[in-house]
Amino acid sequence: NAGVTQTPKFRILKIGQSMTLQCTQDMNHNYMYWYRQDPGMGLKLIYYSVGAGITDKGEVPNGYNVSRSTTEDFPLRLELAAPSQTSVYFCASSIQKPSTDTQYFGPGTRLTVL
Amino acid sequence: AQSVTQLGSHVSVSEGALVLLRCNYSSSVPPYLFWYVQYPNQGLQLLLKYTSAATLVKGINGFEAEFKKSETSFHLTKPSAHMSDAAEYFCAVGGTGGFKTIFGAGTRLFVKA
> Looking at beta carbons, which residues of chain B come within 8 Å of A56?
none
CB–CB contact A92 B42 (8 Å): no
Q: Please name the residues in contact with A84: beta carbons below 8 A apart, sequence gap of 6 or more.
A: A63, A113
CB–CB contact A58 B96 (8 Å): no
* pLDDT score, position A25: 97
Closest CA to A65 of A24, A16, A56, B69: A56
Cα of B60 to nearest chain A Cα, Å: 14
Q: Is A50 helix (H, G, I), strand (E, B) or coil?
A: strand
CB–CB contact B103 A42 (8 Å): yes
* pLDDT score, position A41: 85
B89 touches B7 (CB < 8 A): no
CB–CB contact B45 A41 (8 Å): no
* pLDDT score, position B8: 92
* pLDDT score, position A102: 94
CA distances from A50 to A10, A57, A91, B41, B76 (A): 27, 12, 14, 27, 31
Which residues in chain A (19-58) have CB-CB distances under 8 A to chain B?
40-43, 45, 58
Residue A28 has a CB neighbour count (10 Å cut-off) of 9
Which residues in chain B (42-61) have CB-CB distances under 8 A to chain A?
42-46, 49, 51
A76 touches A64 (CB < 8 A): yes
A21-61 pLDDT tens trace: 999 999 999 999 999 999 888 899 999 999 999 999 999 99
User: Rounded to an integer, what distance in angstroms lies between the CA atom of residue B37 and that of residue B45?
Assistant: 5
* pLDDT score, position B97: 76
User: Rounded to an integer, what distance in angstroms lies between the CA atom of residue A32 and that of residue A4?
Assistant: 10
pLDDT tens track, chain B, 113 positions: 889 999 999 999 999 999 999 999 998 888 999 999 999 888 999 999 999 878 999 999 999 999 999 999 999 999 999 999 999 999 999 988 788 899 999 999 999 99
> Looking at beta carbons, which residues of chain B come within 8 Å of A107?
41-43
CB–CB contact B105 A40 (8 Å): yes
